[in-house]
Structure 1
């Protein structure tokens, strides 16, 4: 089975027992749907639908079920965006939870309240907000298109910033020592590069030998679709140079599942099995937090971490209490220097009246 774009349309092809079935569609969503239906029909001994159907882009199109509506919104709202994969997951979850055959015009406030209550049994409020935001966008589009005559109210919970989990130097040492003891240098090197460069897991796994030179490592930023270069610490440079001697292309030829398996083994051995935030992504938090503790500016941290929004970076600036105390200490020092330059007289003096005070009082009728 395959789908190929041909000009402004999408060509879907199915090969089955030596026969070929092919159709053209105006959108990829229609092509994908036809592929699934055709495969099912052929496996059941039925003939596939080969007659042209009503196009999703036609003037008289109106989805009849929640699944059709959700897939339509995904195709026209999220397809081709940076969040496509995540939104595909969220859309599929909503189809599963609401029901594919549910009449979306019958979704009420009570429906969403019950769904929220169920989700809060499993997910934190921040995740519930993200999931329900997907449903809000789906139903809002139906309302704007006139496919439903009312908008459903969906609760949004206030999210607390909370405490960002970071690894302490002691925890970092334990992780590295454990992987060395286990003879797992792949994971040891993965931890070093993740903590010292702040790369996302996907960025580490896509790191190629030609992306690294003696001074920096360059990765393709998965969020803003740009290349970014991060200068290397001495130990990160040593690790990556060693891996370049071992690997001609991919420096970390591992999968996410393999990393998770080795990570969870280490996590349990060190006694962190119950710490839900003892996860690989915390190494990225650690990178940003350590920079903030060193009074590195938000703009520099944003550039190094590849944050799209400065608000994301500011979470780490707020986290660094040492930076706040350091700022006040510098302020106090500057004030002390200012007093010293005046002769060291710290005796307070009454404020000099403003030159316009008598005139101001006269104008006020005093």
Structure 2
């Protein structure tokens, strides 16, 4: 077990028994003095360092710290002063019960996961002796993955060709043919891309979980990078995705792509990544290769693309029909 950091504190219980002798029923949180170590914010910074050392993404760190702050405010409102060693299993069950009244299952599960991660950190840092029982996560039906079938892909590209900019068409071609996450495209530099007449590749240096991977580029992907300006910028440390005000953020790319949704229901920029994976599976590419190209940590994630869509089922029943249309 890791040694406690130098910012950890021993939260003294004091002579709580003396209060019992006075015949008063008190909560421990009420006994802790205002200037005791439970008010010290060092454990917050320690938790942030723990998440950073665990190489959690910036979004995860921000979400977990926010979720923890919300739990602390709830605890202070319902129990009084907060300290990590005051958290009980009953508190956690009550908090979950409160969340069930106003939050969706995914949000509840994320908040419980943030608290669980914090308690593991607190135990390893010596802030608590043991971890109280964490409530079970809420079961939820996983929404179906939205990918585009071939007619939808062609319709999207047709809209961009007719009404969009060269940059937009290049970006959508790249996303459809590389499976890059939007954040990965936003981080991509021209020095990460290499193209020749008949082949090409790109390097994702900071994928999910800080995993690096190399993606070969087919002709459509190479065409997309040429539209984005490969000939003018190849080999430089300039970002691939730029707008009038400089480098495009993840949200900027999402907004750029989603304005071409047309009549596509449930479409988002991330649908292009799903489409890349689905096209590979439909083309007979093995799950191990799909997982490697997409940067999936588990084959279970990739296996979702083997689940048939309604369009797949329509094609399946046509196979056994004998009457001609």
After alignment, is 199-208 or 139-148 more displaced? 139-148
Unmatched 5+ residue regions in structure 2?
Answer: 12-36, 74-80, 243-247, 320-325
Q: Decide which of 38, 42, 59 is 1:64's aligned counterpart.
A: 38
Q: How many residues align?
A: 266
Q: Does 1:297 align with 2:291?
A: no
Q: Does 1:216 align with 2:190?
A: no
| Contact 2:8–2:43 (8 Å) recurs in 1 | no
Distance in 2 (CA, whole Å) between partners of 1:158 and 1:284 is 26
- The alpha-carbon distance between structure 1 residues 106 and 127, as it changes in their structure 2 partners (threshold 3 A), is same
How big is each residue's C-alpha offset from its partner over 1:163-197, in whole Å with a ceiling of 9 and x where there is no partner? 21112223323322333333322222211110111
| Contact 1:66–1:104 (8 Å) recurs in 2 | no
- Using structure 2 for the length normalisation, give the TM-score: 0.68
Structure 2 residue aligned with 1:168: 149
Measured after TM superposition, the shift of residue 103 of structure 1 is: 3.2
Structure 1 residue matching 2:188: 3-state secondary structure:
coil
Structure 2 residue aligned with 1:244: 230
Distance in 1 (CA, whole Å) between partners of 2:190 and 2:177 is 18
How big is each residue's C-alpha offset from its partner over 1:183-228, in whole Å with a ceiling of 9 and x where there is no partner? 3222222111101111111222233334121312212241254543
Structure 2 residue aligned with 1:40: none
Structure 2 residue aligned with 1:102: 82
Structure 2 residue aligned with 1:88: 61
Alignment of 1:70-219 (within 5 A): 70-75=44-49, 77-99=50-72, 102-117=82-97, 119-120=99-100, 124-143=104-123, 145=126, 147=128, 151-210=132-191, 211-214=193-196, 215-219=199-203
Which of the pair has more CA radius of gyration? 1
How big is each residue's C-alpha offset from its partner over 1:69-98, in whole Å with a ceiling of 9 and x where there is no partner? 4442332x3223331423321332223312
Distance in 2 (CA, whole Å) between partners of 1:169 and 1:57 is 58
How big is each residue's C-alpha offset from its partner over 1:97-155, in whole Å with a ceiling of 9 and x where there is no partner? 12366333443445434543554566542443232112012224445636367614323
| Contact 2:68–2:115 (8 Å) recurs in 1 | no
Q: Does 1:235 align with 2:225?
A: no
| Contact 2:106–2:140 (8 Å) recurs in 1 | yes
Identify the structure with bigger relative contact order (alpha carbons < 8 Å, sequence gap 6+): 2
How big is each residue's C-alpha offset from its partner over 1:248-281, in whole Å with a ceiling of 9 and x where there is no partner? 54332222232233334333xx245xx5x42111
| Contact 2:56–2:209 (8 Å) recurs in 1 | no
- The alpha-carbon distance between structure 1 residues 74 and 258, as it changes in their structure 2 partners (threshold 3 A), is closer
How big is each residue's C-alpha offset from its partner over 1:30-82, in whole Å with a ceiling of 9 and x where there is no partner? xxxxxxxxxxxxxxxxxxxxxxxxx951675555159544442332x322333
Unmatched 5+ residue regions in structure 1?
Answer: 1-54, 330-366
RMSD: 3.5
